[in-house]
Structure 1
Amino acid sequence: MKNLQVVLWRELSEKFREALIALPALIVCLILDFFAGAFLGRFFEKIMLSYPVIFVILPGLMGLRGNIFGAMASRFTTMLHLGEMEPKLRDKNVVKNIFLGILLSVLPVVVLWIVGVIKVGNVASGVIVLLIVLTSTIFVSLIMGYATAIATVLPFKRGIDPDTVAAPLVTSAGDLVTIPFLVLFILLHEDLPRLFDILVLLAVFLLLVMGFRTKFESEEKRMVGEILGIIGVLALFSSISGGLLESYSEVIYASVVFSVMYPAILDTAGNYGSIIGAKTSTKLHLGEIESVLNRDSLLDIFVYFVTSFFIAILMNVVAIGVVKVSLGKNVGLVFPFIILYPFLVLFNMFIGYFFAIIFDRLGLDPDNATVPTITTLADIFSTLFTVGVAYLIV
């Protein structure tokens, strides 16, 4: 019994050391999320009144970035571990996956846009929103593709497991650029319409050029079909988050703090689930998981659950400062949020773990399916969580 306790303590100590390595990445992600949150809070009322379709699209759009490029990071990680990819940005897998990421980002956006137009019912403004969203998506996806490669390759070259770093950084980077780019193209459309039109044409031209220069093998085409099917279904699920955000935007706006903290809540909750999902996927590929309940994975979940209490407090404290600086308003600690947020994280981590196993047993590559699924579901649960806590404090 005593020997078992010693072994368990050693394993926990090792897990906490690993989590402490990942914690700075989570904190960096949190700061990036609040950069996006400052933009959202500053322009929340403008979007709510003039471009409500964007609210229907926004959670799915942020989630898609994490879905697509988080899955790309997971694929890169597995290929690096198996020696199928060199740790270089010029590796052929990098360029090919970047075009794939752009392609997979553009198509589901149309699905989200159609749902948004149907819900809001304003076709005229919806067309403008489509041009804004598609153009920003192409440029953001190009940036995200190389950011994903860097976030995966550099840690691997330095002996750090990219599963614990890449997915959180990639999903947060997606949130960092998504909202500012949307706001940028909204302002360009309103103030510099000619430049806006030029950028729309340039985005289409870049997509066509990359399409002509990239060729997929039969196995890669199968992978594209697999990912596209998953992303298409998840885009429909993402519209649930968007519908909730648009419907309860006034409650979130009235709470003040959540209009700024919303991207961070979605992203960090999804990050925790993505970490466990990516780690489980790698273990499955390496044959390290034989039963449904794997002790090593459960220890991972427990350790990251403990760290989420610190993240909850830090998130609230940073939000207080961002609201003060960007909106000129005073808010305080939201204790229901601090207490309940770690359990939202715990729930998402278990979803990430079990879905990785389920997809593997269904014959799907968990690298392609797990991260997109957990980030999309995390968006829905996090939006419900945000609306619920906002109701408690308004």
Structure 2
Amino acid sequence: MSHSYTALKPITKEEPDDDDEAIELQIRTHDLENNNKELRLDVEANRSSSRHPHHARSSSTSSFIHFKAPIQPDTSRESIEVSSTHHIYNENNENNSICASTEIKGGLRLASQALPSLLMSVVGLVVAGWMMDIFQHWEVFVEISELFILVPVLLNLKGNLEMNLAARFSTSANLGDLDDPNTRNSLVWGNLSLIQVQALIAGSIAGLFSFILGIIEHPDEPATVSDSILIITSSMISATVSSLVLGVFMCLLIILSRKLKIDPDNIACPMASSLGDVVTLGILAGCAQALSNSGGSTLSLGLFVVMTFSIPFFAKSVWKNKHVKELLLSGWSPIIFAMLISSFAGLVLERYVEQYRGLAMLTPILCGLAGNLGSIYASRISTCLHAGTQEQYTLVEWTLLAMNIPVQILFLVLTWILDLGHLDFTFSFAVTYFIVAMLSTLIALKMGKYMTLTFWKRGYDPDNYVLPYLTAIIDVICASLLVISFAFLSSNNLADLATTQSASS
């Protein structure tokens, strides 16, 4: 766009006639109208770019003349340029204010939606930790120590299945796929069938893998076929039943969130993780104790055969569903590898659970909260990548990290008041745990960001790959940091966390 300044030529000393003055006034009026029109269009375009960063122009393509102020009939050329510069400054300030206001509103919206779900997840994780603190004294856990290895492996496995479902469904909701009833019903049934296939197969592998690890860890202790069948069957039952219950719940939650205009990325993953831990852990302990009380392996073997033959039925249903068909074969590698990674957390728990009081209770809580926050971040980034929008990385990271502060403080207060885990709750313990929790969350956020971007760049869907690896690695990191902090506090007499058995030895 170019402008003509013909109308601004210095007037000579000769007196112009009336026709020249009329022509000059028409030219100036025409330029004024054109500049006003162009200014309105460019201001609107600039505001639109502020709202949609991925549509913004680069600085190299912007032109100074695009934001020129209207030409006034009685001003000189120099005054026009000064006025234009001032107008550009005001417009940039206005756009910066709009961007800052949008970022603040986005952070508040994220906190208002995610914080309640995180607080609810704290309740679920506290209940899971309390249940684990009780179950470790049950007869079946005392006699079959491999169950301690199975717990974090199975909880991570189940959490991955539910969170993958939540991430896929959240992306579908944000893209509008759930607005059509036929598509929504097909997605619900297909994903529920898929999660049953994954739960049954991965549950059996998790049980067998935990049993083998137990033999390797304790080669002197006798291992029986009856124990192996009990562990595998208990793992499969808890995996398939909890998958059905939680899968239906997550689908309903995300559909309801879509109707209420709430971003499911902010609430689905924490709810899936915390509720999954409680339901899965309760079913696992109850099933293992019931099968142990039955006094034989016949019932365990019969249930194992029934569940194994049900796998082809669900697999056939998945294969006929175009929305999830490809996941029947391609979605296994992250689940299996994540299970192998999380087994190291199980080995840490199994080795040190009898040495430190409260370790069994704190481990699922610390792992769960850090994994939940990392999963929220990864799920949001994945949705932005699918939608072609830009995530506000710094804002979201600091918001999620700040949200962890009141959540951890609330948990510490509940631990102190309710005497959870029978801990020696000293000031040193509270500070050390808080530092470990914040460090774990920071690691989870950074890993969630870079893993999501890396998988996307390599052509893999982050909804199916990131969360299993992320939560598995975070489980190992959190369990290791927790054991190190317990050892530090005990060795320096800052808190009495060692059990009587370990202290005497």
Aligned match for 2:454, one of 354, 358, 371? 358
Q: Partner residue of 2:47?
A: none
Q: C-alpha deviations, 1:321-379, integer Å up to 9, x for none?
A: 4545xx7x464252200133112101101111111111111100111112222111111
- Compare relative contact order (CA 8 Å, sep 6+) and give the higher one, 1 or 2: 1
Out of 240, 243, 252, the position equivalent to 1:150 is 252
Structure 2 counterpart of 1:77, one-letter code: S
| 1:162-207 C-alpha deviation (Å, 9 max, x unpaired) | 0000111011111011111111112212335699657656655655
Contiguous gaps of at least 5 residues in structure 2: 1-91, 216-221, 490-496, 498-505
Alignment partner, residue 278 of structure 1: 379
**Is 1:230 matched up with 2:334?**
yes
- 1:26 maps onto 2:103 in alignment: no
Q: Is the 8 A contact 1:88 1:153 kept in 2?
A: no
- Preserved CA contact (<8 Å) 1:270 1:374: yes
For residue 259 of structure 1, the aligned residue among 351, 354, 360 is 360
One-letter amino acid matched to 1:236: L
Q: 1:43 aligns with which of 135, 148, 171?
A: 135
Q: What is residue 112 of structure 1 aligned with on the other side? A: 206
CA distance in 2, matches of 1:361, 1:161: 25
Aligned counterpart, 1:190: 292
**1:153, CA displacement in angstroms?**
1.2
Correspondence 1:298-377 to 2 at 5 A: 298-323=394-419, 329=422, 331-332=424-425, 334-377=430-473
**AA matched with 2:327:** M
Contact 2:190 2:321 in 1 (8 A): no
**Percent identical:** 22
The Cα offsets for residues 109-167 of structure 1, whole Å up to 9 and x where unpaired, read as 33333432232215422332111111221111111211221221111110000000011
Q: Which residue of 2 aligns with 1:249?
A: 353
Larger radius of gyration: 2
Higher helix proportion: 1
Q: Per the alignment, in what secondary structure is the counterpart of residue 160 of structure 1?
A: coil
Contact 1:260 1:323 in 2 (8 A): no
Question: What's the CA shift string for 1:241-283, capped at 9, x where partnerless?
Answer: 11111122223xx322x32222211111100000000000001
| TM-score of the aligned structures, taking structure 1 as reference length | 0.88
Alignment of 1:58 with 2:162, yes or no, is no
RMSD: 2.7
- Number of the residue aligned with 2:172: 79
CA shift for structure 1 position 231: 1.0
Cα distance in structure 2, aligned partners of 1:114 and 1:347: 31
User: What TM-score, normalized by structure 2, do the two folds share?
Assistant: 0.70
Distance 1:357 1:330, change over 3 A: closer
Q: 1:80, CA displacement in angstroms?
A: 1.8
Distance of aligned partners of 1:209 and 1:111 in 2 relative to their CA distance in 1, 3 Å threshold? closer
Residue number in structure 2 paired with 1:102: 196
TM superposition shift of 1:380: 1.3
2:164 corresponds to 1:67: no
Q: Evaluate the alpha carbon distance shift between residue 33 and residue 193 of structure 1 in structure 2; reply closer, same or farther with a 3 A threshold.
A: farther
**Aligned counterparts of 2:483 and 2:307: Cα–Cα separation in 1:** 35
Cα distance in 2 for partners of 1:20, 1:332 equals: 31
